[in-house]
Amino acid sequence: MSVAIDRRRALALGGMVAAGAVGAAIPHLARGTQTGIAAAAPIGTAERQARMAKAQRLMQQAGIGAMLVEAGSSLRYFTGIDWWRSERLTAALIPAEGPLCVVTPFFEEPSIREMLAVPGDVRVWQEDESPHALVAGWLREKRLADRPVAIEETVRYFAIDGLQKALPGVKVRSGADIVNACRMVKSPAEIALMQRASDITIAAYRATAPQIVRGIDGPAIFAIMAAEMRKLGAQTPSGGVQLNEGSALPHGSKERQVVRDGSVILMDCGCTIDGYHADISRTMVFGEADAKQRRLFEHVRLGQDVAMQAARVGRTAGSVDDAVRARYEKLGYGPGYRLPGLSHRTGHGIGLDVHEPVNLVHGEATPLAAGMCFSNEPGLYVPGSYGVRIEDCFYMTASGPRYFSQPPRSIDEPFA
């Protein structure tokens, strides 16, 4: 459950704190940061071509002629093109047979060709031309205009509307089932990248914790964490830090809090390697934890164990959440999503997006399969007091789930 903060503000705050920081109150958390980080290679061309082939088989089975994929994580997944979204359309048209076509502005063509990692055509439009007409023209040229066009689920409305106006009568279908069938099951290469991102995040946590001092605020703590991740080779550090009463709100409060004796510090951080995410949460106490804080921490660790016991190939994703919630209700939390208790899902899918299908949430009927990756974060929150969230991601194997990062032993040792 990772959320981003403003990078420039965070770095500035981090520099201010580093200049005045003295004597951390949790020195026992100091650990080495350079060892135990897994190696991982970027995704290769052969793997991207295999992804394309699988998508095309699924399209043929569904009677789809082509699929429209706008700039974003799915475009990167299939083509290697890591591009942003703007008012100018950059998108791929993946046909059910043959090489794809990428539509992009004329002046972006060199960059797009440089990143394109699979065979395909690049067609450009000028500033005074319609990209939608270009899409429609390619579909007509390839004799696909009379077959349904699948739309990747995050494609913006203006691209769909433009296609329908440029190609009246075109049938559009959701492409979610096709894309999810490819992306939900990770390959060994993808899992290796996520393992490296996870190892870097844990190493950065170990380096950050001893730098937390009395009076520091959440953004400044995250600035230190982001710097430590970058030192270790991380890309795009993300996350946030909630303190004290703010930790009872899963995504924090606008009220500024600072570290004081007995503060609950909830850190939710991650990074990417070759686009693949780590997402890890840790909760600690500045100074000595009291009995209530320890008990809440132990209950969340129990919730993680229950989730891992419930996660088995063939069972539904929703059954994992159900198992955790049933155990929590026996401990007096809830019921259901009520507070004090677990107010959000037990976990989410993760990969090229930090949140992606499917979720470990009540009612989710998708069966678990080897290669699926999830967060395990059954946090417990007490409004007006504090919350505890421990989050470790895992991937499914034929014999059961396996963690990317090991959960903490105790509230005194949050980095196993």
Q: Which pLDDT value is given to residue 251?
A: 83
Q: Which pLDDT value is given to residue 252?
A: 77
CB atoms within 10 A of CB 402: 11
Give 148's contacts (C-beta < 8 A, 6+ positions apart). Answer: 63, 64, 65, 171, 172, 173
- Asked if the model's pLDDT at residue 380 lies above 90, the reply is yes
- Asked if the model's pLDDT at residue 16 lies above 80, the reply is no
Q: Which pLDDT value is given to residue 284?
A: 97
Q: Using one digit for the tens of pLDDT, what is the confidence trace for 340-368?
A: 999 999 999 999 999 999 999 999 999 99
CATH of domain 7-30+186-403: 3.90.230.10
Helix (H, G, I), strand (E, B) or coil at 337: coil
Domains 7-30+186-403 and 45-183 share a fold: no
Lowest mean pLDDT among 157-166, 252-261, 373-382: 252-261
Taking residues 290-306, report their average pLDDT: 98
Q: Using one digit for the tens of pLDDT, what is the confidence trace for 197-253?
A: 999 999 999 999 999 999 999 999 999 999 999 999 999 999 999 999 999 998 878
- Asked if the model's pLDDT at residue 11 lies above 50, the reply is no
The domain locations on the chain are: 7-30+186-403, 45-183
CB atoms within 10 A of CB 185: 17
Q: Which pLDDT value is given to residue 31?
A: 36
Q: Which pLDDT value is given to residue 23?
A: 33
Q: How confident is the model at residue 7 (pLDDT cuts 50, 70, 90)?
A: very low
Cα 4 to Cα 223, 233, 251, 368: the distances in Å are 11, 18, 10, 29
The residues with which 382 forms a beta bridge, in sequence order, are: 386
Burial of 122 (0-12, 13-18, 19+ CB in 10 A): middle
- Statement: 45-183 belongs to CATH 3.40.350.10: yes
- Asked if the model's pLDDT at residue 104 lies above 80, the reply is yes
Q: Using one digit for the tens of pLDDT, what is the confidence trace for 112-141?
A: 999 999 999 999 999 999 999 999 999 999
Preceding omega of 124 cis (within 30 degrees of 0)? no
- Asked if the model's pLDDT at residue 13 lies above 70, the reply is no
**Of 337 and 24, which is predicted with more confidence?**
337
Q: Which pLDDT value is given to residue 110?
A: 98
Q: Which pLDDT value is given to residue 169?
A: 95
Amino acid occupying residue 117: A
- Asked if the model's pLDDT at residue 144 lies above 70, the reply is yes
- Asked if the model's pLDDT at residue 255 lies above 70, the reply is yes
Contact 13, 203 (CB under 8 A): no
Q: How confident is the model at residue 416 (pLDDT cuts 50, 70, 90)?
A: low
Angle (nearest 5°) at CA 373 between 375 and 230: 70
**Of 301 and 14, which is predicted with more confidence?**
301
Q: How far apart, in whole angstroms, are the C-alpha atoms of residue 71 and residue 90?
A: 6
- Asked if the model's pLDDT at residue 50 lies above 70, the reply is yes
- Asked if the model's pLDDT at residue 381 lies above 70, the reply is yes
Q: How confident is the model at residue 43 (pLDDT cuts 50, 70, 90)?
A: very high
- Asked if the model's pLDDT at residue 274 lies above 70, the reply is yes
The pLDDT > 70 percentage for the chain reads 91
Average pLDDT, the chain: 92
